[in-house]
Amino acid sequence: MSQFGVVSDDFKRVEAHVCPISTCAAPAGSPCRTGKGKVAIQYHTAGFRLVPQLAKSLNVPTPAVRGPGAVRTELPRPANTDAEPIGHVRIGYARASTARQSLDAQLDALADANVPRVFAEKISTRVTRRLELEAAVKLAGGIRSSGVAVTLVVHEHKRLGRGIELAMLAEELKASDVGLEFLTGELKGSHDPSGIVFTVLAAMSGMEREYIRGRTLEGQESARVVPADPAIRLGLREHPHSPGRPGGTRSGRTCSPRPIAAA
């Protein structure tokens, strides 16, 4: 199942690639075939594992629209860079993590970049489905299928996600031959979603998030170990949970309750 919840489009992502099985070698835009020249009932494993979000799937069935079991005929190839685009459309996306955060800076930057249509939402990246992002990707794919070049424009890559999330989105865009552009940040510029540079940088941004998380956990652990009271840290006052209170030891001596004078 896709990260964006579009199950029916899985076959399109598989068919964005040429099947690597030599006995099949189905071209892009066509389903896999059997040894007898019929449409296979499911795509070859080596083929659908080229799609990151399908890599762990056990199988990807061929949809009814492809006529599994019927005599196979090669279908028209999907729109790609071999065909000269008849125009160019830029679609924007903006996101804030919380309702209190403002989208103004992102929207202003997209307007300055001459992006006429923008999808915006306030939602955390921890939420699996982001409806406005899904809508932007769907619109971009629909426009590209008509022969018009499309670029999804975002203020910064962090607005989309990091690491595997960003790589999966790139695969979504690659299947539809949609470009991606960031206006600022470490991935600033235009990127081919199928390019190795984009994939490496996306992986690096995921490593950065894990590094920050690790440092945060280390800081929390240190805060628990190091007393906040400077007098305790300098040894001028005894820690309330030290072994010397009471009956424990302090500076090598045994502490015991002070005897009470007889009345």
- Per-residue H/E/C for the chain: CCCCCCHHHHHHHHCCCCCCCCCCCCCCCCCCECCCCEECCECCHHHHCCCHHHCCCCCCECCHHHCCCCECCCCCCCCCCCCCCCCEEEEEEEEECCCCCCCHHHHHHHHHCCCCEEEEEECCCCCCCCHHHHHHHHHHHHHHCCCCEEEEEECCHHHCCCCHHHHHHHHHHHHHCCEEEECCCCCCEEECCCCHHHHHHHHHHHHHHHHHHHHHHHHHHHHHHCCCCHHHHCCCCCCCCCCCCCCCEECCEECCCCCCCCC
37: burial class by Cβ within 10 Å (0-12, 13-18, 19+)? exposed
Half-sphere exposure of 73 (CA within 13 A, CB side): 2
Q: What angle do CA 210, 216, 221 make, to 5 degrees?
A: 125
Q: Which of 30, 57, 97, 251 is catalytic?
A: 97
Q: In sequence order, what are the beta bridge partners of 181?
A: 153, 190
Can 251 be counted among the known catalytic residues? no
* Active-site annotation, residues: 97
